[in-house]
Amino acid sequence: MPVSVEAVRLRRQGGLGALYLGIFATVWFSVPAAEQPLRGVLVAGSVAALLTAIGGGIVTARSRGADAGPRDRAADRRYLLIVVAEFAAAALGAVVLAAAGWSEFTPALVCAVVGLHFFPLAPLLDDPLLRPLGVAMCAVALAGLVTGLATGVSAGLVVGTGAGVLLLGYALRSLLRALRG
């Protein structure tokens, strides 16, 4: 039975979500410096995220082709603009924090910027669940900031762990959705 263009598009979108968010979850799990046993948990999360990203890459590669339909160049440009703005805001914020002597809060700032970038991506990618992910990422950023200011626990530990868990969870959801077709 032939597969519809919409089914191929959704499978590809789920694969790309698993690929991208799996990679970024791996990166976030690598941010915190932690002692055992948390270090082992972070490594396990990083491996799980990397495997999820690989699975997403395989799904994406298998869903390429004529059945995927034409590319939307305008949507591609909007996506690129959002991602460039995200990276610029994160880089500028990191520079400002470093100049102020507060570089230990850079992970919280970057996590907040990442969370905020999911809001314009939600309608563009036709994925309304990116909004709650954005809210959760901003909450993790705030928790990291407050924890870093009020305790001896680093903001990076809270943010790296929290963002890694959120992105891994969403990547796994995307991969499972893509595999179910």
Give the single-character DSSP code of 46. Answer: H
Residues contacting residue 116 through CB under 8 Å, at least 6 positions apart: 86, 134, 138
Dihedral (CA of 59, 47, 88, 156) sign: positive
Query: Are the C-beta atoms of residues 130 and 121 closer than 8 Å to each other?
Result: yes
The pTM score is 0.91
d(CA 63, CA 181) in angstroms, rounded, equals 11
What integer pLDDT is reported at residue 99 of this predicted model?
97
d(CA 18, CA 110) in angstroms, rounded, equals 20
d(CA 142, CA 63) in angstroms, rounded, equals 38
- Structure tokens given for 140: 């993790």
Q: Could you list the residue range(s) of the whole structural domain that residue 80 is in? A: 5-180
What integer pLDDT is reported at residue 133 of this predicted model?
98
What integer pLDDT is reported at residue 65 of this predicted model?
63
> What total of structural domains would you count in the chain?
1
- Structure tokens given for 24: 């970024």
What integer pLDDT is reported at residue 69 of this predicted model?
59
**Count of C-beta atoms within a 10 Å radius of residue 5:** 13
Residue 24: closest CA among 169, 126, 179: 169
What integer pLDDT is reported at residue 67 of this predicted model?
55
What integer pLDDT is reported at residue 96 of this predicted model?
98
pLDDT along the chain (181 residues), means of 10: 73 93 96 88 96 96 68 88 96 97 96 97 93 98 97 94 97 94 68
Phi–psi pair at 82, nearest 5 degrees: -60, -45
What integer pLDDT is reported at residue 76 of this predicted model?
87
Query: Are the C-beta atoms of residues 147 and 15 closer than 8 Å to each other?
Result: no
What integer pLDDT is reported at residue 70 of this predicted model?
65
What integer pLDDT is reported at residue 15 of this predicted model?
94
- Work out the burial of residue 71: count CB atoms within 10 Å of its CB; fewer than 13 is exposed, 13-18 middle, 19 or more buried: exposed
